[in-house]
């Protein structure tokens, strides 16, 4: 053991070096402590719960861009995944058995395709171009249903080709950018399902989608200790947001519900397109 004359500290002490290696970096990495992060994250988690069980798409796809204002985007994606998985469990409790049985096999087939493709091309796809493309589709679809020829057409019927394509795109964009709401809404909204069945179908679909991402995300290194600990701190907000969403959905007239949903899809499309065009 030697002592530095300049600092009075021991040098080449294996016990001290081990302590510094283990303890010094450990505490700061266990949890995000920046108050600015929580000023954004708390309303984001609450609104995510409201959107999931109230009006799907109303806040869909916006959680990660908002969190990315205060933390890196990939970290935002990782923190939101456990929270979304928890929201899904509460959503299943609120919409137990409420889903469209004709369309669920169609949607899950497309979802599986989208998740597999997303896992394979995760490092190859330009996510900004993907956001721009999906945003443009969502804008056109919403405007057509609000003001165009589709406004007065009869309800669409379940379709394997259309359903698999849209749900595969939803699975792909959900995996790559947490932006799966718009493609799914593009298929489900024209069916004009009972609003409870419609919301329940989206809840079950994204339950399957989010839980299917866990292993690939862990393999890609996105679920580290800091992100998981931060997610855990935010989890108590989940049941509050979910309950608010259920209350809102239960009080809305069917026509008003779908009008708000189309406007939400339009806003979501604009947001995705904007992100795709302006991201550096």
| Per-residue pLDDT tens over the stretch 64-105 | 777 877 888 778 888 999 999 999 998 898 888 899 999 999
C-alpha neighbours within 13 Å on the C-beta side of residue 73: 11
pTM summary value: 0.76
Closest to 272 (Cα-Cα) out of 53, 59, 54, 45? 59
The highest-confidence range among 7-11, 32-36, 120-124, by mean pLDDT, is 32-36
pLDDT band for position 60 (50/70/90)? low
Work out whether the CA dihedral 156, 200, 82, 274 comes out positive or negative. positive
């Amino acid at each position: 053991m030697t002592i530095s004359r300049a600092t009075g500290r021991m040098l080449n002490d294996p016990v001290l070096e081990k302590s510094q290696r283990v303890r010094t970096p450990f505490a700061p990495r266990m949890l995000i402590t920046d108050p600015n992060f929580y000023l954004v994250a708390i309303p984001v988690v609450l609104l995510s719960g409201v959107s999931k069980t109230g009006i799907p798409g109303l806040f869909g796809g916006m959680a990660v861009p908002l969190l990315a204002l205060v933390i890196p985007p990939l970290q935002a994606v990782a923190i939101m995944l456990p929270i979304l998985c928890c929201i899904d469990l509460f959503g299943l409790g609120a919409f137990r058995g409420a889903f469209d049985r004709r369309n669920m096999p169609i949607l899950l087939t497309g979802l599986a395709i989208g998740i597999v493709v997303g896992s394979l091309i995760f490092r190859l796809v330009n996510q900004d171009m993907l956001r721009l493309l999906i945003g443009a589709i969502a804008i056109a679809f919403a405007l057509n249903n609000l003001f165009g020829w589709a406004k007065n057409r009869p309800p669409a019927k379940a379709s394997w080709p259309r359903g698999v394509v849209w749900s595969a795109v939803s699975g792909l964009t959900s995996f790559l950018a947490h932006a799966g709401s718009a493609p799914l809404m593009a298929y489900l909204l024209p069916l004009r399902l009972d609003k409870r069945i419609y919301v329940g179908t989206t809840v079950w679909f994204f339950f399957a989608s989010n839980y299917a991402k866990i292993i690939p995300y862990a393999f890609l290194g996105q679920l580290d200790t800091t992100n998981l600990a931060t997610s855990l701190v935010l989890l108590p907000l989940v049941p509050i947001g979910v309950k608010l969403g259920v209350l809102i959905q239960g009080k809305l007239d069917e026509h008003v519900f779908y009008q708000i949903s189309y406007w939400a899809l339009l806003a979501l499309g604009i947001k995705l397109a904007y992100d795709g065009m302006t991201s550096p």
